[in-house]
């Protein structure tokens, strides 16, 4: 089985996490600043090649009532553009409260506020991927 790459796509940053080849663990990878250019997608392609990724899971930022707002439209557009660069299945995972869960975990671990900002998106990607993997089992 190939690894799964999870993306937490925001306006400012993209958080990345990946699974092991058995689809059991979710590991933080990186956080990138969004450039708003093809470079964002080329960077993802490079990760896909390096880690032998077979599927991408993108966090879907639904509103708390389950409706889709502006952020969902932007995230879907990002995923559609990504399809121009890579031929892999892209699946969606509800990411409601993933950032809150990630922040709580970081606070619990004693991570200082300044450091939390730099890692929150990759930890949110781990939460998204963990939710996806749990749903598959």
Question: What integer pLDDT is reported at residue 51 of this predicted model?
Answer: 97
Supply the mean pLDDT for the chain: 92
Q: For residue 11, what is the DSSP state?
A: S
Task: Tell me the longest C-alpha to C-alpha distance in the chain.
Answer: 41
Q: In what order do the strands lie in the sheet with 3-9?
A: 26-33, 13-19, 3-9, 53-60, 90-94
- Give the CA distances from residue 109 to residues 12, 66, 112, in Å, rounded to whole numbers and listed in that order: 25, 30, 9
CA-nearest of 3, 41, 1, 6 to 122 is 6
Question: What integer pLDDT is reported at residue 115 of this predicted model?
Answer: 75
Read off the pLDDT of each residue in 33-56 and give the average, rounded to a whole number.
97
Question: What integer pLDDT is reported at residue 96 of this predicted model?
Answer: 80
CATH of the domain at 130: 3.30.420.140
CA-nearest of 99, 12, 14, 22 to 54 is 22
Looking at the chain, the whole-number percentage of residues with pLDDT higher than 70 is 99
- Give the CA distances from residue 126 to residues 24, 38, 50, 68, in Å, rounded to whole numbers and listed in that order: 12, 24, 19, 22
Number of domains in the chain: 1
Read off the pLDDT of each residue in 45-69 and give the average, rounded to a whole number.
94
> Domain span at residue 123?
3-136
């Amino acid at each position: 089985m190939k690894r799964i790459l999870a993306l937490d796509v925001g306006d400012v940053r993209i958080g990345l996490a990946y699974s092991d080849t058995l689809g059991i663990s979710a590991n933080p990878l990186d956080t990138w600043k969004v450039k708003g250019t093809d470079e964002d997608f080329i960077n993802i392609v490079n990760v896909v090649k390096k880690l032998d990724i077979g599927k991408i899971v993108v966090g879907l930022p639904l509103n708390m009532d389950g409706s889709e707002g502006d952020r969902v439209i932007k995230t879907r557009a990002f995923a559609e553009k990504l399809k121009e660069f890579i031929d892999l299945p892209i699946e969606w995972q509800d990411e409601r409260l993933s950032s809150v869960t990630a922040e709580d975990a970081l606070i619990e671990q004693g991570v200082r506020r300044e450091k939390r900002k730099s890692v929150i998106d990759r930890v949110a990607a781990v939460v998204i991927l963990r939710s996806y993997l749990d749903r598959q089992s």
